[in-house]
Amino acid sequence: DVRERTLIAVKPDGVQRRLVGRVIQRFEQRGFKLVGLKMLQVSEELLSQHYCELRMKPFYPSLLHYMTSGPVVVMVWEGHNVVQTTRMMVGHTNPVEARAGTVRGDFGIHVSRNVVHASDSLEGAKREIQLWFQGKELLNWDSSALSVWSYS
């Protein structure tokens, strides 16, 4: 499905380390389509919903503290197999195990500062996109490069 969508976020450490542009560039270069983008200081309320499956984990309190420590840049990307492909491009949760060439493999320092979030399944992506974005914040667009001969 070419209309498949996923949620990607540059976490506070990624924003603070000026990595937003390089993260975006990777998904653009791969041919995915950016259909939503915003920067925000996340509330604990939103994060507790976002990470609801992790609430019993020992690292959960520090995860919430870190994710609310500064602004994040959150995006929706669209394309064929975008969920699986972007997960692969983001790399293993723990940077020590992430391959070079992945975002976490190239920029990650520690599992608790791993630069980016990416939805891990179709259902997860749907849930997260609804949580982070209002419908009107997501834009449909097509490339005018394909209709260059009809420029007026």
Binding site for ligand YYY (CB under 6 A): 54, 59, 63, 93, 111-112, 114, 117, 120
Residue count, binding to Mg ion (CB under 5 A): 1
Q: What residue 24 binds from ligand YYY, Mg ion, none (CB within 5 to 8 A, per partner kind)?
A: none
Spatial separation of the C-alpha atoms in residues 96 and 102, rounded to whole Å: 12
Nearer residue to ligand YYY within complex by CB, 55 or 139: 55
**CB contact set of 15 (below 8 Å; sequence gap of 6+):** 39, 70, 71, 72, 73
Given the complex with ligand YYY, which of 118 and 134 has the nearer CB atom?
A: 118
Q: Residue 25: name its binding partner from ligand YYY, Mg ion, none (Cβ under 5 to 8 Å by kind).
A: none
Q: Phi/psi zone of residue 58: left (φ > 0), alpha (ψ -120 to 50 degrees), beta? A: alpha
Say if CB 74 and CB 7 are below 8 A apart: yes
Binding-site partner at residue 50 among Mg ion, ligand YYY, none, CB < 5 to 8 Å by type: none
Kindly tell me the number of DSSP H helices and DSSP E strands found in the chain: 7, 4
Give the residue among 2, 3, 22 at the shortest CA–CA distance from 90: 22
Contact code string over 39-78 relative to Mg ion, x by CB under 5 A: ----------------------------------------
**Catalytic residue at 50?**
no
Given a contact cutoff of 8 angstroms between Cβ atoms, the answer to whether 67 and 42 are in contact is yes
Using CB under 5 A, which residues numbered 93 to 152 contact Mg ion? 120
Q: Which amino acids are annotated catalytic?
A: 117
